[in-house]
Each structure stands twice: as structure tokens, then as C-alpha cells.
């Protein structure tokens, strides 16, 4: 086996990651826009383990001022499950030793923590992360906002001017744990303005495309098969090519009615029917609106899902006074 380090995204790596199915228990899905998204990664450095010139494992980091973010961590399907075969156990041990060597190499270069997001019900990935020295730091949630029919909303439009909201974003998010603006400053932004043109609220969304192999719940596998034939639901979820939005930042001080208006308008602007919001439950906006916002049908079906923030070499304990900044780019 050969371990290759590169800061260049190769076609072999893209092909390998495109074939990776994410999730174990509950939801299983594939990123259909990975080819585009991977080139948007901030300061990537990639380590690929190869056998016979083929990638069998990869870990790719975004190198940030405050931490290494584990952007991709994937094994060939042959090595994703435990085996009773002694030979496979030895090979797997070799894989783990090589990956552990990657973490130690980066630690020698920079004394920074590592962090990753792992679904709370993904027991395999939770176990694997603990074997590499990761432990739970805090948890975030995902909530789904959806609308079957989206009325036209006045006073809301796209903007490409980051300077319009830059100072406000810094004031509202600058103290968050792990805040950085590499991705949130990239337009377009969705603005809600009053009749005088003053910004009342703002948000930044990313348009996402996934393929669902399974949805949450005991009948998740069956749902994927029958959804295309169920009236109403087939408008909300298209398993083979599902488009949705993820908010990166949401204006503070907004109430549930304003947020509902802003989210609904974003659905209309992007011509989709749902939003998945990954957020720290202690986030100022989410904590204020979570009980009063009319989330929609998908939230009643899917519910609140939990994601663990896993950290290796944490510099300090989590504090609810400084919520963890969740950049949706890292989860899509």
C-alpha cells in the first residue's frame, strides 16, 4: 500500500468519493454535486491510500486557522465492515495505522485540533472516530422546513453585495465557536427589505443535490421506493435527485413570522420545496423560533435529527454561551 499526499483534487479521487454511500443506520444518501463542491473546499490537503494504483481509502482536510476540518473520510466498501477473516483484520489494521500516521503528521506541522460531523445514529462512524482519538464535543440538530405550495413574497430578493451585511454578520456570528467566513461571504444572499430599502433580515443558502437510498425511520427503505407515487409527498422529496437548500447564516433578531417569510421566499427564489437547517440548538435564532415556526410536513415525518461534533485534541470545553458555528458547506 502507498500513501499519497496532495493539495490537488484528482479525477481518481473524485471518482472514488462519488461512489461513496454515506450513512449507516437511518438515512443513506449520496452527494450528487460532489464534483462541483470538492473544488470549493477551502485549503484542502488530501491523503489517499492506494493499492495497485487504486484508491482504497481517503481522508481530506480543510486547513483552517483554528482547526483541521475532516471534509472527507472514506473507505472502499470492501473495508467498511468488520470481517471474521484474519487477513481482512490485518489489512484493516494497516489502513488504520496509515490514517493515524496522517493525523500525527499534521499535528507535528500545526498544533491544531481536528473536528468532524457524524450522524448520531451512525454507529459505525462513531466507533471508527473514537479509534482515531475523536470524542464528542457538542451536538447540533437538523430540522426540515418545507412547503408544498410557495406563495410569491414581496420585498425579498437576491443580492451579490457582501458589504451590505458583512459588519452585521461579524457582530452576530463573530463570537461563535469556530466561526469563519470563507464560504458565507460568497453570494448570492437573500435579503428582506422594508419599503424604504432598509435590510430587515438576511440569509445565505447553498443549493444541494442528493440521492437518497434510504430515509429515516423503520420504513425508510420502502419510502424511497413508493414516494414517486404518493401525491403531495413526491413534490417534497425526489429520492433519485433531491434538491434542497441549507442556510449558512440567518439574521439575528428575526422572529418566527419573519423567518417563515424569509425561508418561504428562498424556496421560491431557488425553485425548490425544502430546507434542511443544520444548527447548534443554542444558536440565538433557532432557540427563539424553534417552537413557533411552522416547519411543514417533512418535519413532522422526519423530526429532529442529531449530529455529533467530534473533536480530536480539543483546546477548550464547549460553552453554550458561544454556540458552535455550523457552516452548512461542511455537511453537504
3-state secondary structure 171-196: HHHCCCECCCCCCCCCCCEEEEECCC
Q: Which domain holds residue 40?
A: 2-117
63 with 162, same domain? no
Whether residue 245 is contained in a domain is answered as yes
One domain for residues 299 and 156: yes
Quick one: cell of 30? 449520496
Roughly how many angstroms between the first and final C-alpha of the chain, as a whole number?
Answer: 30
pLDDT tens for each residue of 243-253: 999 999 999 99
Same domain? 100 vs 201: no
C-alpha to C-alpha distance for 252 and 59, rounded to whole angstroms: 35
What percentage of residues in the chain have a pLDDT greater than 90? Answer: 69
Q: What is the pLDDT of residues 61-120, one digit of tens each?
A: 999 999 999 999 988 766 555 433 444 444 446 778 888 999 999 999 999 999 999 998
Give 12: exposed, middle or buried? Use CB within 10 Å, 0-12, 13-18, 19+.
middle
Q: Tell whether 217 and 256 lie within a shared domain.
A: yes
User: CB pairs under 8 A, 24+ apart, for 194-199?
Assistant: 194/155, 195/155, 199/164, 199/165, 199/168
Strands 114-119, 68-75: pairing kind: parallel
In a domain, 172, yes or no: yes
The tally of domains found in the chain comes to: 2
* Structural domain contains residue 246: yes
Say if residue 56 is in the same domain as residue 194: no
- Same domain? For 94 and 18 the reply is yes
Domain assignment present for residue 122? The answer is no
Low-confidence ranges of the chain (pLDDT < 50): 82-92
pTM above 0.85, yes or no: yes
Amino acid at each position: 500500500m502507498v500513501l499519497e499526499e496532495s493539495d490537488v483534487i484528482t479525477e481518481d479521487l473524485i471518482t472514488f468519493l462519488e461512489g461513496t454511500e454515506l450513512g449507516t443506520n437511518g438515512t443513506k444518501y449520496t452527494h450528487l454535486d460532489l464534483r462541483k463542491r470538492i473544488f470549493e473546499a477551502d485549503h484542502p490537503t488530501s491523503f489517499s491510500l492506494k493499492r495497485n494504483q487504486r484508491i482504497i481509502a481517503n481522508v481530506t482536510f480543510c486547513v483552517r486557522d483554528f482547526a483541521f476540518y475532516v471534509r472527507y473520510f472514506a473507505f472502499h466498501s470492501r473495508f467498511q465492515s468488520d470481517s471474521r477473516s484474519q487477513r481482512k483484520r490485518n489489512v484493516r489494521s494497516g489502513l488504520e495505522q496509515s490514517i493515524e500516521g496522517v493525523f500525527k503528521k499534521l499535528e507535528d506541522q500545526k498544533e491544531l485540533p481536528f473536528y468532524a460531523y457524524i450522524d448520531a445514529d451512525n454507529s459505525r462512524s462513531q466507533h471508527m472516530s473514537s479509534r482515531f482519538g475523536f470524542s464528542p464535543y457538542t451536538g447540533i440538530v437538523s430540522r426540515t422546513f418545507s412547503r408544498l405550495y410557495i406563495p410569491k413574497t414581496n420585498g425579498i430578493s437576491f443580492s451579490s453585495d457582501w458589504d451590505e451585511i458583512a459588519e452585521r454578520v461579524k457582530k452576530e456570528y463573530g463570537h461563535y465557536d469556530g466561526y469563519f467566513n470563507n464560504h458565507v461571504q460568497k453570494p448570492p444572499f437573500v435579503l428582506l427589505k422594508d419599503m424604504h430599502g432598509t435590510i430587515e433580515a438576511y440569509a445565505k443558502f447553498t443549493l444541494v443535490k442528493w440521492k437518497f437510498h434510504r430515509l429515516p425511520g423503520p420504513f425508510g427503505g420502502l419510502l424511497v421506493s413508493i414516494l414517486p407515487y404518493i401525491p403531495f409527498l413526491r413534490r417534497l422529496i425526489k429520492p433519485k435527485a433531491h434538491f434542497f437548500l441549507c442556510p449558512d447564516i440567518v439574521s439575528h433578531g428575526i422572529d418566527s413570522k419573519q423567518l417563515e417569510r424569509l425561508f418561504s421566499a428562498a424556496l421560491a427564489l431557488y425553485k425548490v420545496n425544502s430546507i434542511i437547517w443544520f444548527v447548534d440548538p443554542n444558536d440565538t435564532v433557532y432557540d427563539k423560533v424553534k417552537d413557533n415556526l411552522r416547519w411543514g410536513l417533512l418535519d413532522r415525518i422526519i423530526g429532529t435529527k442529531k449530529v455529533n461534533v467530534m473533536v480530536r485534541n480539543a483546546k477548550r470545553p464547549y460553552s453554550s454561551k458561544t454556540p458552535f458555528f455550523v457552516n452548512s458547506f461542511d455537511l453537504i
